[in-house]
C-alpha cells in the first residue's frame, strides 16, 4: 500500500489515529486532532505523558468528565508505530459499577454473618435456661401429667435448637469459610452414640432403630468426624420424620479405602421424579399451608454439601409407600490428612471457676454440677481474675460475651499468663455456636468448647475429660 493511500484511509477513519517514527509524530488524522483539542492538551504533551510509558487504558478529563481510552499500539514496520485510540468509557464505567456491586455484596455478606451470629447468640442464651432446667426436671419425681408437659416442652425446645443448628450449618456451607478437620474416627462408636441419641424420638412414633455392621480392628479410618455426625444426624432425623411405622436401619461397612453408611427407612418414600429435587435448598415434598411435615427444607441439602466437601458421594433408592435408603460413601483421608494424636492430661480435682454474666445460666450450672464439684461463680472477667489470685482451681468454664470489660477470650489469655494456670484447662461455654466457632475458639487457646444450650450429662462428660475426683 502506498503512503498517500494509507494516509487517506487513516484520515477517513473515525478512530483517533497517530503515526510515529521513533517516538516522533509524523501524521495524525482529524479525529485525533479533535480529541486533543477537546482535551485541551497539545500533541507533544500527549506523547510524553501517555505514549512513552503507556500500558493499555488511559484516563483523560474532557469537559470535566473522566473519559477512558484504550491505546492500541501496532508496528507498521520496524520503526513506524501506529497508535489507535478507542473510547472505552462505557466499558470502564460498567467495570467500576461491577466492582462497586461486588464490594456491596461483600459488605452485605459480612453484615448477614454478623446478624446470624448475633441472632444465634440471642436465641441460644434463653434456650440454655429452657433446655437446662427442663433437663434437670427429668431427675425429679413428676406426676404423669407433669411428665407429659415436660416432654412437650423438651421436644419444642430441641426442635428450635435443631433448626438453629441447620441454619448455622447451611450458612457456613454456602460461604467460602468451610474447612475439613481430619482425625481418626471410630465408626461404630460414632453411629452407636447417634442411634442412642435418637432412641426416644423414634420410640415416640413406635419405631425401632437398628445398627448393623462391623469394622476390622486393624483398619484405621480418617475423616472429619463432626461432619460425618452431622450427615448421619440429618439422615436419621429425616428417616424418623417421614416414617410412621416399622423401623430405621443404619448399616455400615468400612474398608481401607472407604466408609459406606446407609440409613434405610420404611416410610412414605420419594417419587422417582422428585429424587434429584430432594437435595435442593429449601425444597420439601409437601409445601404450602397444608404441608404434612414440618422443617426448614435444608436438611438433605446440608447432607449433599457435606458429602461433597468430604470428596464422597451419595445415592438414593426409594419407592413410594415402601421407604427410602440413603447411602453415603466417604474416602479414607489417612494418606493425605493424617495428624498426630494430641493427648489430654487428666488431673485429680473438683474446684471449678465459672465466669458468666447471666444469672440464670449461673444458677443452672450451680444446680447441675453443685453436688459433684465445688463451683465458684464470677459475674465478669475482672471478678474471675480476682478469684484466680485468691483460690486454686482445677478447671475454668468461660463464657465469651461477658458484657462490660474484657471478653472471655481476653480473660482466658490473662488466666493462662499465670504460671500455675498455664496448664489448667479453660473451656469455652458459649452461645456462639456457628459451625466454625469451635475451631475459632480452640485456635485462640481454649482447651475445649461447649456450645449452649447443653444438658447436665453433656457438660459432665466434657469436664470428665480433664479432671476426676
Place of cell 416414617: 243
Q: Do residues 332 and 401 share a domain?
A: no
Same domain, 359 and 251: no
pLDDT, residue 21, reads 62
% of the chain with per-residue pLDDT over 70: 78
Asked whether the predicted pLDDT for residue 393 surpasses 70, the reply is yes
> What band does 64 get if pLDDT is binned at 50, 70 and 90?
low
The answer to whether residue 365 scores a pLDDT higher than 80 is yes
What percent of the chain has a predicted confidence (pLDDT) above 90? 38
Report whether pLDDT(234) > 80: yes
- The residues near 198 (Cβ < 8 Å, ≥ 6 apart) are 209, 236, 237, 240, 248
Residues 321 and 351 in one domain: no
On whether the CB atoms of residues 111 and 46 are closer than 8 A, the answer is no
| Cβ–Cβ < 8 Å for 235, 303 | yes
Asked if the model's pLDDT at residue 168 lies above 50, the reply is: yes
256 belongs to a structural domain: yes
- Tell whether 93 is covered by a domain: no
What is the rounded CA–CA span in Å between residue 202 and residue 244? 10
pLDDT band, very low/low/confident/very high, at 78 (cuts 50, 70, 90): low
Domain assignment present for 233: yes
Last residue of a domain, one of 150, 173, 196: 173
In this structure, the answer to whether residues 190 and 311 fall within a common structural domain is yes
Last residue of a domain, one of 309, 337, 365: 337
Same domain, residue pair 409 and 373? yes
CATH number of the domain residue 251 falls in:
3.30.565.10
- 148, 173, 198 — which closes off a domain? 173
Residue 27: per-residue pLDDT: 72
Residue 441, domain member (yes or no): yes
**Residue 210 — very low, low, confident or very high, per pLDDT cuts 50/70/90?**
very high
**Residue 419, pLDDT score:** 92
Q: Is 327 exposed, middle or buried (0-12, 13-18, 19+ CB in 10 A)?
A: middle
CATH number at residue 71: 3.30.450.20
Q: Are residues 370 and 282 in the same domain?
A: no
How far is it, in rounded angstroms, from Cα 29 to Cα 8? 9
**Confidence at residue 273, expressed as pLDDT on a 0 to 100 scale:** 80
- Would the pLDDT of 355 be above 60? yes
User: Mind listing the pLDDT tens digit for each residue in 278-306?
Assistant: 787 666 655 443 445 555 567 888 899 89
The mean predicted confidence, pLDDT, of the chain is 82
Same-domain status, 286 and 332 = yes
427 within domain boundaries: yes
pLDDT at 387 over 80: yes
Asked if 183 and 442 count as a contact pair (C-beta separation under 8 A), the reply is no
If asked whether residues 154 and 254 sit together in one domain, one would say: no
Three-class DSSP category at 197: helix
Instruction: Express each pLDDT in 4-29 by its tens digit.
Output: 666 666 677 777 777 666 666 777 78
Q: What is the pLDDT of residue 42?
A: 74
**Residue 417 pLDDT exceeds 90:** yes
Mark whether 322 and 364 lie in a shared domain.
Answer: no
Q: Count of domains in the chain?
A: 4
306 and 187 co-located in one domain: yes
Q: Where are the beta strands (DSSP E) in 149-246?
A: 183-184, 208-214, 222-223
Residue span of the structural domain in which 143 resides: 105-173
**Do 364 and 433 belong to one domain?**
yes
pTM of the model: 0.62
Domain shared by 414 and 274, yes or no = no
Closest alpha carbon to 222 in 194, 177, 254: 254
Residue 109, pLDDT > 80, answer no
For 446-468, write each residue's pLDDT tens digit.
999 999 998 888 899 999 999 87
**Residue 10 included in any domain:** yes
Whether residue 98 is contained in a domain is answered as no
71-72-78-79 Cα dihedral, nearest 10 degrees: -30
pLDDT of residue 2: 54
Return the pLDDT at 4.
Answer: 65
Position 49 pLDDT exceeds 90:
no
Structural domain contains residue 92: no
What CATH number should be reported for the domain holding residue 440? 3.40.50.2300
How confident is residue 348, by pLDDT bands cut at 50, 70 and 90? confident
Amino acid at each position: 500500500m502506498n503512503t498517500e493511500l494509507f494516509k487517506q484511509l487513516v484520515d477517513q477513519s473515525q478512530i483517533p489515529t497517530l503515526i510515529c517514527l521513533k517516538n516522533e509524530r509524523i501524521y495524525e488524522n482529524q479525529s485525533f486532532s479533535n480529541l486533543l483539542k477537546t482535551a485541551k492538551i497539545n500533541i507533544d504533551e500527549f506523547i510524553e505523558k501517555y505514549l512513552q510509558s503507556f500500558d493499555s487504558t488511559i484516563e483523560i478529563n474532557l469537559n470535566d468528565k473522566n473519559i477512558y481510552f484504550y491505546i492500541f499500539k501496532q508496528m507498521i514496520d520496524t520503526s513506524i508505530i501506529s497508535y489507535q485510540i478507542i473510547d472505552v468509557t462505557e466499558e470502564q464505567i460498567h467495570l467500576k459499577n461491577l466492582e462497586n456491586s461486588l464490594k456491596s455484596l461483600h459488605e452485605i455478606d459480612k453484615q448477614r454473618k454478623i446478624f446470624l451470629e448475633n441472632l444465634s447468640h440471642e436465641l441460644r442464651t434463653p434456650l440454655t435456661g429452657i433446655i437446662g432446667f427442663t433437663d434437670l426436671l427429668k431427675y425429679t419425681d413428676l406426676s404423669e401429667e407433669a411428665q407429659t408437659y415436660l416432654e412437650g416442652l423438651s421436644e419444642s425446645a430441641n426442635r428450635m435448637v435443631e433448626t438453629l443448628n441447620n441454619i448455622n450449618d447451611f450458612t457456613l456451607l454456602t460461604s467460602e469459610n468451610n474447612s475439613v478437620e481430619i482425625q481418626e474416627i471410630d465408626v461404630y462408636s460414632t453411629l452407636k452414640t447417634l442411634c442412642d441419641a435418637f432412641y426416644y424420638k423414634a420410640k415416640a412414633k413406635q419405631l425401632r432403630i437398628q445398627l448393623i455392621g462391623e469394622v476390622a480392628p486393624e483398619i484405621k479410618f480418617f475423616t472429619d468426624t463432626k461432619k460425618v455426625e452431622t450427615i448421619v444426624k440429618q439422615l436419621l432425623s429425616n428417616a424418623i420424620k417421614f416414617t410412621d411405622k416399622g423401623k430405621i436401619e443404619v448399616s455400615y461397612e468400612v474398608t481401607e479405602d472407604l466408609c459406606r453408611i446407609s440409613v434405610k427407612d420404611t416410610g412414605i418414600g420419594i417419587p422417582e421424579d422428585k429424587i434429584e429435587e430432594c437435595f435442593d435448598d429449601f425444597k420439601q415434598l409437601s409445601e404450602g399451608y397444608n404441608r404434612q411435615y414440618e422443617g426448614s427444607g435444608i436438611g438433605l441439602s446440608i447432607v449433599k454439601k457435606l458429602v461433597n466437601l468430604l470428596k464422597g458421594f451419595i445415592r438414593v433408592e426409594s419407592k413410594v409407600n415402601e421407604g427410602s435408603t440413603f447411602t453415603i460413601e466417604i474416602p479414607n483421608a489417612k494418606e493425605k490428612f493424617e495428624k498426630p494424636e494430641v493427648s489430654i492430661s487428666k488431673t485429680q480435682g473438683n474446684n471449678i471457676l465459672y465466669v458468666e454474666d447471666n444469672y440464670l445460666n449461673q444458677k443452672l450450672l450451680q444446680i447441675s454440677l453443685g453436688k459433684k464439684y465445688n463451683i465458684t461463680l464470677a459475674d465478669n472477667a475482672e471478678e474471675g481474675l480476682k478469684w484466680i489470685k485468691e483460690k486454686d482451681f482445677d478447671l475454668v468454664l468461660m463464657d465469651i460475651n461477658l458484657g462490660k470489660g474484657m471478653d472471655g477470650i481476653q480473660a482466658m489469655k490473662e488466666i493462662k499468663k499465670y504460671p500455675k494456670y498455664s496448664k489448667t484447662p479453660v473451656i469455652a461455654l458459649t452461645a456462639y455456636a456457628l459451625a466454625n466457632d469451635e475451631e475459632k475458639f480452640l485456635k485462640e487457646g481454649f482447651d475445649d468448647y461447649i456450645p449452649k444450650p447443653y444438658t447436665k450429662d453433656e457438660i459432665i462428660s466434657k469436664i470428665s475429660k480433664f479432671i476426676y475426683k
